[in-house]
Structure 1
């Protein structure tokens, strides 16, 4: 096993546009769509905004509204999967349906519990039909609010963040969550809706069918003027190169300047936090792994540059999880062989996404290897000792330890001593490097005193916050904390009031940014 990462040519600092474009590739995976769909749709939106006489600011708003519209598909994947089973397959199929009326109702009923047994699907249908608008509104609100929160965290203003909550509204007022209509929908979102749907339909069915569908939805889903402007110029608007990455990076408004190291650290942390929202079982996982592997790298005597690289890899290592359905991630029982194969693809998908950013070459190698093992028993490439560096094994050990002390759908969280015993066992069996395991366990064993909880939260309110953020039902919270459901609801009201969050996703983000996520307990 090598001592450290192989040396290579210095890469320039990444541009902000490259990092946002990498995020868009992850979103493509979460939608079950061909790579670069989001980039292509964003360019179509920018051109449409220009066609409407928009200045550079208007074009930028349309471009980034399209880029961030589907970021929320990560945050609502758990809820989406509860209703529809395979969240990715159903999202992909939904592009074929106008989201209103009987055809949409039929689509929803057919999609409920996708991939699950018939009795379970029937039960799901009963739950949805008991309050269809309310159930769908709750899910859509989480999606839209998380997209706006993420865009805000990356420094975008009210022009983009204010448009994102309208992603599922319609021109005719039959959308969700608020039933906004007409010009109540910001122009950037009206453009985005057409560009997003049209790009998918063009890829699947060709130009004529794409234009026909856009025109068919005029005055219903789509702004008639935007739809017709697209239809008249569709061929030119959709005439984009096969590999659109370079064009999108070059044309991303105001994002070509290289980021500083501090800005890069902030961006990768934000990406990791949002990836972890895909499942309540992984809330805070990437941030915790990043902190743990950074401390382990110091303990192992790695250089400051290698420590920084490992921290960034810790934040990014699971970005490929977006491309695997929550039907797999949230399954309470054993995975089938097919499901296990899909799960084991996620390091490959992470590497595929990050490989587009040359400045992250070292982080990409680490991310790709974080489930490999010295004895060749890991995945996705079954690498073994000579192929793996100490840095690879530090990230592997940190990810392994942190995953063990977090709950998973099929088991409760392990205690730190139990997790320590399993890591030692991995080292003795030759799966993990003993020095890497020693460094990770030394880092995990350090404790630190905390100050007061943020925004005046009490100890009990923090307990409740963590459980709500992890999508724990009220009844289960009451049982676990030994209090009544009424008391739980009172605590939840206080937590929402103090944090300013409006839903579970907002609460999850508050927990992440304030170090309160259930996945990041004070180490033992």
Structure 2
């Protein structure tokens, strides 16, 4: 492996957690399925070249699953994400299992539940076929974007085919279905049912479905011990070890291809998000030419592609709510940068951008989320990403508002700078990159301090009492006292000397 080359599996195993979140499955479910699939492939005596296809086709089995989240939410209700685990294990040929699924549709939506049930029933087979086709097409296209080869892309396109020929999208049957697809399906169901009731239940369900949904030859190769240890082993390490040798590697400059593919995956979650992550990446890349060193720019661009991975953990119904978000919705939304960071931190190659991606909703005055970080905790790259994210979002439609014209979005960014939430230099760079004229000087104050608070801080640092500050600024002593208390709270200190040091560090004694 060349010094600059990166192991592909290290990146994709980490990013597979995003697929688990999208399917509302426990973390590492894709890794578990991959491990079981490789054990099955070895039991079947597959050549190494075919085992490699099994490896990536199983690991990324749900790569197309965001393609239909918008339609599913509209048809089956805003909480449809919670239904996905049940949908994945439901045999549509079984009337009993299909009825069980139907009874769960629209749960928690009150009086509208009947509407969602009616929509589902009236959608019919043609609508269902279109949804399944979309999942397969998108999964295959993203696999091509990841340069995984035609065999993996074909296996993902056939993801929803069944042994008996009643699947989608082509109604292929038997050995006309890619062997990697057939193995991935058995491995996935083995993991699902092992998690629900142990390896014995898994074996029972696989036997029941062989010859219909599943390839009987692959089912025959399954033994309970293939999945029995999934709760005791380190699945991450096992999945990395299971990759056929020699391990696939990519040059470091190919990480952008992977990042862009997953940006597409995330933004497909809702029509309101189309092009958001790639738009942010383009802005930070152009703006970074003005502010960042050459070695920083590629990392910030990758962080921009990846910054919204954690959106996948939040139901589509939340992102598409037309009115104000409820308290529970906000709690989920505020955690999505944290999820982005934790996903990326699992990969040795992606760890350098993990913290940066997790900071994209933080603000200089500490009003951001999820950490409420303040200016001293936010490097220039994080500030730049935050501005680009805001501007790009403002220029796109959202459920509660129409897209702002670029000029109005630029004015909104400038207002955030004036309020002390966004960095002035970064705002100028982003707005200029977006083709907006930036009149005058944009300035932002550290820790969200207002201009009046900066005046008070200067006097406070020089040892003025509250009464003296009040006289010099022609304000009441009580107002001066409130300003001092707010300043101490914002900058996180409690003494005059520390306040003076803060002011010096941030150049507040110079005009």
The TM-score bracket by the shorter chain reads 0.7 to 0.9
- Within-5 A mapping of 1:379-394: 379-394=369-384
Going from structure 1 to structure 2, the CA distance change for 1:183 and 1:329 (only over 3 Å counts) comes to same
Query: What is aligned with 2:66?
Result: 74
Going from structure 1 to structure 2, the CA distance change for 1:278 and 1:101 (only over 3 Å counts) comes to same
Going from structure 1 to structure 2, the CA distance change for 1:60 and 1:108 (only over 3 Å counts) comes to same
Q: Tell me whether 1:53 sits opposite 2:45 in the alignment.
A: yes
Specify which of 344, 347, 368 is matched with residue 354 of structure 1: 344
- C-alpha distance in 2 between matches for 1:304 and 1:107: 57
Going from structure 1 to structure 2, the CA distance change for 1:201 and 1:267 (only over 3 Å counts) comes to same
Going from structure 1 to structure 2, the CA distance change for 1:361 and 1:105 (only over 3 Å counts) comes to closer
The Cα of 1:121 is off from its aligned counterpart by 2.9
Specify which of 262, 265, 270 is matched with residue 271 of structure 1: 262
Query: What is aligned with 2:243?
Result: 252
- C-alpha distance in 2 between matches for 1:379 and 1:12: 34
Query: What is aligned with 2:109?
Result: 116
Aligned residues: 433
- C-alpha distance in 1 between matches for 2:413 and 2:60: 39
- C-alpha distance in 1 between matches for 2:5 and 2:364: 32
Query: What is aligned with 2:276?
Result: 285
Check whether the contact 2:91–2:98 (CA below 8 A) recurs between aligned residues.
Answer: no
Check whether the contact 2:163–2:211 (CA below 8 A) recurs between aligned residues.
Answer: yes
SS at match of 1:43: helix
- Within-5 A mapping of 1:89-168: 89-118=82-111, 120-168=112-160
- Within-5 A mapping of 1:327-406: 327-406=317-396
Going from structure 1 to structure 2, the CA distance change for 1:384 and 1:255 (only over 3 Å counts) comes to farther
SS at match of 1:367: helix
- C-alpha distance in 2 between matches for 1:289 and 1:346: 17
Query: What is aligned with 1:225?
Result: 217
Query: What is aligned with 2:295?
Result: 305
SS at match of 1:69: coil
Going from structure 1 to structure 2, the CA distance change for 1:275 and 1:123 (only over 3 Å counts) comes to same
TM-score (normalised: structure 2): 0.80
Query: What is aligned with 2:7?
Result: 15
Specify which of 225, 239, 245 is matched with residue 235 of structure 1: 225
The Cα of 1:95 is off from its aligned counterpart by 4.3
- C-alpha distance in 2 between matches for 1:315 and 1:360: 12
- C-alpha distance in 2 between matches for 1:326 and 1:435: 34
Query: Structure 1, residues 455-477: CA drift from partner, whole Å, max 9, x if none?
Result: xxxxxxxxxxxxxxxxxxxxxxx
Going from structure 1 to structure 2, the CA distance change for 1:83 and 1:130 (only over 3 Å counts) comes to closer
Query: What is aligned with 2:24?
Result: 32
The Cα of 1:351 is off from its aligned counterpart by 0.5
- C-alpha distance in 2 between matches for 1:257 and 1:193: 24
- C-alpha distance in 1 between matches for 2:424 and 2:245: 47
SS at match of 2:103: helix
Check whether the contact 1:293–1:310 (CA below 8 A) recurs between aligned residues.
Answer: yes
- C-alpha distance in 2 between matches for 1:429 and 1:335: 23
Check whether the contact 1:272–1:319 (CA below 8 A) recurs between aligned residues.
Answer: yes
Check whether the contact 1:293–1:440 (CA below 8 A) recurs between aligned residues.
Answer: yes
- C-alpha distance in 1 between matches for 2:333 and 2:279: 21
- C-alpha distance in 1 between matches for 2:328 and 2:382: 27
- Structure 2 gaps, min length 5: 438-511
- Structure 1 gaps, min length 5: 1-10, 448-524
SS at match of 1:14: strand
Check whether the contact 2:90–2:101 (CA below 8 A) recurs between aligned residues.
Answer: no
Check whether the contact 2:54–2:180 (CA below 8 A) recurs between aligned residues.
Answer: yes
- C-alpha distance in 2 between matches for 1:431 and 1:283: 26
The Cα of 1:114 is off from its aligned counterpart by 4.2
- C-alpha distance in 2 between matches for 1:383 and 1:257: 38
Specify which of 169, 172, 184 is matched with residue 180 of structure 1: 172
The Cα of 1:13 is off from its aligned counterpart by 5.4
- C-alpha distance in 2 between matches for 1:64 and 1:13: 19
SS at match of 2:323: coil
Going from structure 1 to structure 2, the CA distance change for 1:433 and 1:77 (only over 3 Å counts) comes to same
Query: Structure 1, residues 436-490: CA drift from partner, whole Å, max 9, x if none?
Result: 212211211269xxxxxxxxxxxxxxxxxxxxxxxxxxxxxxxxxxxxxxxxxxx
Q: Tell me whether 1:422 sits opposite 2:412 in the alignment.
A: yes
Query: Structure 1, residues 220-278: CA drift from partner, whole Å, max 9, x if none?
Result: 21122221221xx2213543453221232233236745532321122212221222111
Check whether the contact 2:410–2:436 (CA below 8 A) recurs between aligned residues.
Answer: no
Higher CA-based Rg = 2
Query: What is aligned with 1:84?
Result: 76
- C-alpha distance in 1 between matches for 2:185 and 2:256: 32
Query: What is aligned with 2:400?
Result: 410
SS at match of 1:76: helix
The Cα of 1:317 is off from its aligned counterpart by 0.5
Check whether the contact 2:39–2:226 (CA below 8 A) recurs between aligned residues.
Answer: no
Specify which of 283, 287, 299 is matched with residue 296 of structure 1: 287
The Cα of 1:22 is off from its aligned counterpart by 1.8
Query: What is aligned with 1:462?
Result: none
Check whether the contact 1:347–1:369 (CA below 8 A) recurs between aligned residues.
Answer: yes
Query: Structure 1, residues 402-460: CA drift from partner, whole Å, max 9, x if none?
Result: 0000111121101111111111111111111122212211211269xxxxxxxxxxxxx
- C-alpha distance in 2 between matches for 1:36 and 1:305: 33
